[in-house]
Every structure is written in C-alpha cells, then in structure tokens.
Chains A and B, each alone.
Chain A
C-alpha cells in the first residue's frame, strides 16, 4: 500500500514535469517523492538565491533599472547598511530602483530588493527609504514568497523538485518554479505577512539608526493618495489598506519609539544623491 501510493505520487511528479522529465529516472523520482512526504520541506539557501535571482530577472524584464548610477549606488548603500541589522546579514543583498512610474516595492527570495522610481519620487528623506527597504527585507527574512509558493499544491511539487532540478541542471523545472514565483507578485502575499513586514520593518530601520516613523510616514502618504490613480493599482490590490496598516502600528508602537531621531546629515545626502536625479 505504501509503495503503491509512492509510485502513484511519483507518476504524478513525472507528469508534472511534462517535457524534459526524461532526465528524471524512476528511482530519483521515488526519492524526491519521499522527501515531499516530509511535510514542509524547507528550501535551502542556495536554492532560495537561484530562485530569487530568476524572479528578479523576470521583474527586470517588465521594468528595467532606472538609468542613474548615483541613485542606484545610494539605494544600495542605504539598503546594505540596513541589512546588517537583520538576522541574515550575509545574504547577497542587492537593491535596485526600477524605471517604472508605478508606485511599488518588491523583494525576491535571497535578497534582491526593488523600489520603483515612482515610489522614490514620493519619498521625503532617507528614513522613509530605509523604512520601505526594511519592510521588503522582512519578506525575505521570513521567506514569505516561498511560503506563498508552497501553499499551492501544484507548486508544492515544483519547489520540492527545485533542489533536484538545480543539481541536475534541469532548467525546465527551474523555469517553471520561477514563472510561478513571479506570478505571486501579481496576486500579492497574505495580509498577515504584510502586517508582519511592517512590524519588523520599523524595528530593523530603527536598529540601523533611522527614524522609526519613516515607514508610517510613507503609509500615511499612500493613504492620502488618490486610490483611483492607476500607478497605485497593483500596490493597493496586493496590500492591506494603508489605514489598516497604520492602525495596527498605532496599537503596538506606543511611546517607546519617541526617543529616536535621524541625524540631519542623511537629509542632505538624500537631496544631493537622489531627489535631484529622479
């Protein structure tokens, strides 16, 4: 009975790979099936990074980088400094301003973080930028996108195959997983994942010496924006309402963040390195 169910499962796996599955022999498929039976097999860090780079390349396929070296370098310095205050400081963190006029920000597994030029233009200082980047980093730290992928039964199979595909250079399986991974950005994450990223983002930015209210200020700006504006459409569709996010922060921040302030030097820098180039 046990063997038969494993066999059926592996046939399912083989057909899930469709073409290109010939590289998998039955024995290998059986061993993967056994791995898949262990609930919630975690994706190892090297797999996470390869997957994330693939998704990053796809996001860049829909919007290239904003062509300004100074602004890109500035965002990388802010982001990398902030990343040193997380529990995964050694990930290959990299940051990019997307040329898109849309207002949004994205994180991919393994540490690629994007912010659109449209959102950059709405920010007032380095603390707000740090707050946005820290929110995105929290998605990476908590592996929210990978969890969203694994939730889908079909993709559960693909992510289980991913490690195997990387070892065997089975690009078709990898491509499938990356395509499905990119589609997560069209649907958005779980609401609770967004609330968690807000809670963590505030703390991470504060640890890095920034004003804790940078992220709440961005949320307040978003709330005041016209919801009919099409440049905000995807962001509003894939996130809880800014009002709800602010209410949750209002409940937990209390007065313990009142004593932190950002050095004024960061404002000068923000204006000279970024504002005038956007």
Chain B
C-alpha cells in the first residue's frame, strides 16, 4: 500500500505565481479535505502543474481545436516572452512573465511529503545558464531529493519518484478538466482504445503481474528444452523431434523478428525524442510563420486603406476644392462691397435732393410769381436783388452736384460685385480632407511599423530555419506512424509465437521417455510441472484479479455515481465490460444513453475514483475545476462525496461558477482541513494566496 500525505508545497516564480508562495497542508484536525477557490486564471491549474513539474520535470497542456485535442509541452521560457507577443500562444512558458521582465530567471517548486514513515523533500529548480536567457536550452533544471534529510543521488531521483507515483498514472491523481474531457470521450466512444486500457491496467498494477507470469513461462520452456535434450536419445521420438525442431526454428525466427521489431520501435521512440529536443531549439519557427502571415495580412489591409484614402482625397481635392480657398476672401469682400453699396446709395439720395433744389431755384429766378411745377408753390415774384442771390446759390449747388456725381461714379458697381461674389460662394469646408489626411498619416505610420515587423520576423525566420522545422515535424509524424505499424507487426508476431508455442506443447506431449533416464528426467519433469502450474495459476489469478478489479471499479464508480447524481433513484449503477467500455444502467437494468457532456464527465470522474481506490494507492488527489459542463448541484454533491470520510488528501479547486466560496464553506467548512483563496495581487495579474479562515 502506497500512502502519501503532502505536508507543504512552495512555488517560486512558477506560472502566475510571482515570488515565493507557500501552501501548508499540515493539520492537526485529522481532516483530509482541502478547497482552493479562485476565478479563472488566478492560478489553480498552475498549482497542479507545479506539482507535475516538481515530480516529472515537464508539464503538458492541451487545447481542443475543431473537435481534436492537441497536446504540447510547456517550455520554461520561449520566444513569446522575449518578444512580448503571446497572441495565438496556448502552450505558455512556465516562468512567471513579471519575473522574466525583471530579469529574475529562477523558478522552483518544492514539495514535502510523508511516505512509508519517512519525510521526503523534493525540490526542482530552474536556473539560467546565461545572463539573458532566450530559449529553453538556456535554462538548466536540477531536481533534488532528500529522504529524512539524506540526499538521494541525482540519477536515482526519477526512479524513486516513478516508484512512488509513475508518471503514466499521475493523470488519475492530478485531474484536469482537459484530461477528463479526453477520457470521457474515449470511455464512451465505443472504441477499444489501447491507450486508455493500458493506462487503466497501469494504475491497477497489471503490467507487474504480467511480468511475473512471463518469468514462469520462460522457466517452463527452459525445463522442457532440458527434458527434450534427454529424450533425443530415444529413437522412437525421432520424427516428433524433427517436427519440434521445425517448430523451434519458427519460434526462434519469430522471436528474432519480435526482438528486431522491438529494437526498431525503440529506435523510432528514440528518434521521436531527439526530434522533440531539436524542435525545442526551434520553438518559434511555426509561430514566426504565423506572425509573418498575420503581419502580411495586416500590411495588405493597410495598403488597401491607404490607397482608398488617397483616392478619396484626390477626388475631393480635384473636384472644386479650390472654392474653399476663396471663401475667407469672399466674406471679407462681401462686407466691403455691402458698405460701399450703402455709401453709394446715401450719396445718390443726397444728389437727387440737391438736383431737385437746383431745379426749384432756377424756376424761381426765371419766372417770378409763377407756380412751381415741381413743388406747387406759387411765388409772389422776387426782387432783382433776391434773384441775383439765388442765382449765386444755384451756381454753387450745381457744382456740388457735379462733384457728388463724380464721387458716386468712383464707387463703381458694388451691388453687381456682390452678385458676382455670390456665384463663388460654397458651403463645404476642408474637414473631410483633414480627416482623410489624418487617416493617411496614421495608416502610413502603421504600414511602416508593419513592414519593419515583417523584416524582423524574416530575420528571425532565417535564424529559425523553417524548412528544418518542417522537415523535423514531417519526420516525427513518419516516425510515429512507422512505430504504430511496427507495434501492430509485433502484436501479429506475438500471436504467431503463441500459436507455435501451443503447437509445440501439444507435439512435445507425444514424446516418449526412456525409463532408464529417470532421476534427472523426474527432477526436470517435476520442475516443469511446477513452472506450468505457476503459469496457469498466475494466468487464472491475473484473470481473476482483472475481473475482481473491474468489479471493484464498477462497484466504487456506482457508489460515486449514485452519490453525485441529483436523481439516484433513476439509476441502478455503472457497468464496465472487459474492454473497459462503460455504460450507465437505469433502475430497471436498461442501458441508458449518456449524451450530455456533463454526465460523461461526471461518469469519468466516478471511474477515476473507482480506479484510484481499487489501485490501493493513497496519493493526494487534486480535482481542478472538475468539468466545465458539470452542473452546480452535481459539483456540490461531488464535493460531499470526496470530502466525506476520506482518508486520502482530496483537494478540490474551484472557480466562482462551480463551488462558490461562501456556499462551500457554509456547507463543508467543518469537513475541510484547510482552504485557500487565489486572487490577483493589487498591482498586477500575478497570483496572491490567502488562507480562508473557517
């Protein structure tokens, strides 16, 4: 039985955690339930990733694109960090961004846990090899492990960890919503996926049992050969021995083939690992190509905008824009001509009046006592002296009228000029042209920047060697495909080998034994019989174990399902067949369709729970936001299921939409050992950790 309890976890500059943050899991309450609350992006998944990184030195991340799940390893640093461009990045670097910016390149995770009565202290740290690291290979990663204060040598650290919790089965303990998604899809897809059965058998410890069985098969075969070497002396066995010899040759040949295929598989695996390492050295090539494509698209858009703006401006300027130039002068001249016009009118009026007065005086001088034709006055006639005086005035006034006329002439025709001016009036202004030229200036600047960006990407691309990366990726795909077909070939060869071995056993049973050969023969036959019995017993035991394990998982998953589902009376339970395909049975025993993604994820969580409990491994289990499709009611019931009476550490991480802090603390606070809340620090978007007081 493997039983582990985490005492504390310490993260430094890992993901969203800037600086050092501690989670102290130790408690004197005896409770094993833990809750970590935080909105999306506050560092919950990062916490799980930090544990995985400390244990195995790598963290994978998945993304679902167009219905397919893609998985990539996360680098410690990468070009996105150096270029400050995280667009279209989903496998983000592990080193905290702010730490990188502030040239603090140290990242570490430390876990202290109890196991077999000893205290294990595992520390994995990443340090820069260069003053300004730019790529992952610039970072050195070093694990340290001590057991009860005794240091474990570097080469034994990973085997020690693998013994405690093999990486292959870690997914059953560090449950991320993505892995649940992929598992829920596989479990219910009706496909007999080798991958999932392999993982399930790994957590149940079946590979170890298979190895033991194979040892006994080998022992039996060895004894058989020894017996046969004695039987060769018997002439009666001649023809059977010849047949056996033929079968043996076939078996040997098949085994050689299997061996060679195995070597080829190893070769392909090694090459895939080498390619992965080489690709790590060129992490940004594909992203650079992507950036280049986007920059070129942007350039093309900007060029179109620019051309369009220039065309529109040209059309505006060429069409009567000159009129705008005249408007200020038109305003000025209009007032001037209006004034002149008024003055001219006034002078003309004065002139008319003066001319009338002159005419009247003339009549008075010439016709004394006569009726004036203009004003109608009847003069009584003027004396000579009076007429002389009037004549003098008339002469003066006539001169004034001449001068006034000349003055009026000088005014010209302002009223006509005003009419002419109005034909050049125009209401438009230059604002449209101004707006277009602003747009032209901004677009020109943007275009310049984009061209510069394209240049720099091209320089980066030259360094990145895109062709090489594409070749490597193509080679990797070819290697994976070849490895797959080699595995199929090996399976077929193994089947042929089993058939031949069976045939051989049958044929060998016909061999006759010379009684004189006894003591040695008796001993060998006895040993072989024991080996055969052990093989058969192991076979039966393994088969029984598999069946019992499946029944146990089925039972535990049923318990989990019935405790989590809101209407347990509707279900009889969960059924798992020999190929680990799962179905849910209704209360009357009929298979029910489980089409809802939330139901599928809940069911996957139940199977995980059954597998973990059946495996007997008591390792802390982390549930990160268990199922984005799972309803609040089910999440609450799930928390109750996990936190009620558990003797394993169960940590549930929850965002605001699932297990809400207040509600969860009200309901389960008395079952929890500890709870924390993750939030953003006040200054930036790095994680801040606060223990929730119950």
Physical interaction between A and B: no
Instruction: Give B contacts to A, CB under 8 Å.
Output: none
